[in-house]
Amino acid sequence: MKFKDIRKSGVLLHPTSLPGEELYGDIGPNAFRFIDDLSYMGQSLWQILPIGPVDQYNSPYSSTSTFAGNELLISLDLLVEDNLLNQKYLNKFRSLDKVKTSFIYFSNYKRSLLKQIASEFHSNANDNIKDRFNTFCKNESYWLDDYVQFCVLKDCNSHKQWFDWTTFDYRSADVTFYKVIQFLFDDQWKKLKTYCKSKNIKIVGDMPIYVGYDSADVYHNKELFQLNDSGLMKFKAGCPPCNYQEKGQVWGNPVYDWINHEQSNFKWWRQRFRRLLDMVDVIRLDHFIGYQRYYRIPIDESTAENGHWDDSKGDELFDSLAPMINKNNTIAEDLGDINPEVIKLRDKYRFPGMEVFQFNFNPSLSLENSTNHSVVYTGTHDNDTIIGWLNSLDQKNINSNKFSKTDLLNYFNCNEDIINWKIINYVMSLNNYICIIPMQDILSLDSTCRFNTPGILSENNWKWKMEEHLNSTVKNKLMELTIKNNRKI
């Protein structure tokens, strides 16, 4: 069965938002239960955000590696089942008040537990687990060795950024620790992915266009980025001013040296796609514009107003990736300041694009004429929830739509209590083969549950978490709409 040959639907929910006893969702029993719920509701897609190591703000789009896994997603429950962690240590971890309320305390404590597990791994692991570990280290050496060296050197240099390092000696025991941690993540993730496959659910992953400056990717591949002889960035990535951000956005990532990427036959990119396609079934290409042209901002500028566009090497890159990616396993996030050249690049490779209800809907010109080859959403991780967006319509004109909250309620002939379900049904009824609904919209949640507000550093970003699993009323409602709109496989 191909990705796009029948109507289907899915749910957008990052694993960190899964319910459970801890502050942070993980890929243990609650993830498997969520997959059961997706299957019950007739969903065939689970869309997630990047699953790499996160920064102090917990942003999945600011990672120390595009290849490695987020160790905070490792399930301690599953480690107990494998006799790699004593239950008493897990009980103590979950009993601490700070672990329940502080992300920094939670993450530091969990990492200390993982370090203890890694130090005892070869004593506690059975032969089968040890064999899987050895196979993992061999098969993933093309990225694992560089990442582990980066992590160990970062520890030796008091967690300073790599361009401030002065110490380059480390112990082999530290190398083993990071390899074990990455194995535990990979092993658990592959089990979850296998379970998804048994339930006919495909995982839609996410590939950010850029990587973090303080990352193993940049440290080991400096020639692939626009850096000076000292390793400092010449330019930083972002996007120009627009209706939503009057001074644009400064992301701070280093921009690529596309000429050097082409001269290497895009080896790093091919490895990057290979790794992600091993973890997910479908890749969403974040900021697809960046594959046709990129916006670079002088390093000393505090806003994006004085940046300028330059050409990328998207055609050459996607030609080199032809054996791996195609219209059935790739989605182009073609939102924002697109031009004919971006559309031409997308259509050349027949990648489905994206449409978002909050951006595209207008009572006088609806989404009903949209192409069935695009993926339609009620909103994305960067948008407000449907309820939050609805409440904002009378407060400020944040988009090009010239209608009010009352107009929208009248259009759907309903009150506020069920407007999210009316909109979900509307999006599901469209011609698009694929529609994806964020979990917050399914749960009728307001702006307080928004996952991310782009362009700002906020303690509320990336923190939302489901309080409990879906109840039968919600599950049955989504299942009914899925069947009604011929999206249940």
- Residue 252 region, left (φ>0) first, then alpha (ψ -120 to 50), else beta? left
* Residue with tokens 């050197």, as numbered in its chain: 153
CA proximity to 249, closest of 260, 257, 259, 238: 238
Amino acid letter, 135 = T
Global pTM reads 0.95
Query: For the chain, percent helix, then strand, then coil, each to nearest 5?
Result: 45, 10, 45
* Of the candidates 419, 392, 417, 397, the residue with the CA atom closest to the CA atom of residue 408: 419
Lateral strand order in the sheet of 293-298: 249-250, 235-239, 293-298, 308-311
- Supply 249's token pair: 């956005």
| Contact (Cβ atoms closer than 8 angstroms) between residue 265 and residue 208 | no
What is the chain's pLDDT, residue by residue, as a tens digit (489 residues)? 455 568 999 999 999 999 999 999 999 999 999 999 999 999 999 999 999 999 888 999 989 999 999 999 999 999 999 999 999 999 999 999 999 999 999 999 999 999 999 999 999 999 999 999 999 999 999 999 999 999 999 999 999 999 999 999 998 888 999 999 999 999 999 999 999 999 999 999 999 999 999 999 999 999 999 999 999 999 999 999 987 788 898 999 999 999 999 999 999 999 999 999 999 999 999 999 999 999 999 999 999 999 999 999 999 999 999 999 999 999 999 998 899 999 999 999 999 999 999 988 876 545 555 567 899 999 999 999 999 999 988 755 545 556 788 889 999 999 999 999 999 999 999 999 999 999 999 999 999 999 999 877 777 899 999 999 999 999 999 999 999 999 998
Residue 294 near residue 231, CB atoms below 8 Å: no
Question: Nearest to residue 110, comparing CAs of 81, 78, 148, 72?
Answer: 72
Give long-range contacts, CB 8 A cutoff, 24+ apart: 272-277: 272/66, 272/67, 272/207, 273/207, 273/321, 273/324, 273/325, 274/324, 275/66, 275/67, 275/140, 275/143, 276/205, 276/207, 277/324, 277/325, 277/329
The residues that are catalytic are: 286, 333, 382
Q: How far is CA 354 from CA 2, 82, 135, 244, in A?
A: 18, 41, 38, 19
Pairing of β 235-239 and β 293-298 = antiparallel
CB 205 within 8 A of CB 283: yes
Locate 279 and state its tokens: 């973890």
Contacts of 168 (CB under 8 A, 6+ apart): 153, 156
Q: The tokens 């092993």 sit on which residue?
A: 187
Helix (H, G, I), strand (E, B) or coil at 225: strand
Long-range CB contacts (within 8 A, 24+) of 122-129: 124/83, 124/84, 125/82, 125/84, 126/82, 126/83, 129/82, 129/84, 129/187
Chain-centre distance for alpha carbon 271? 18
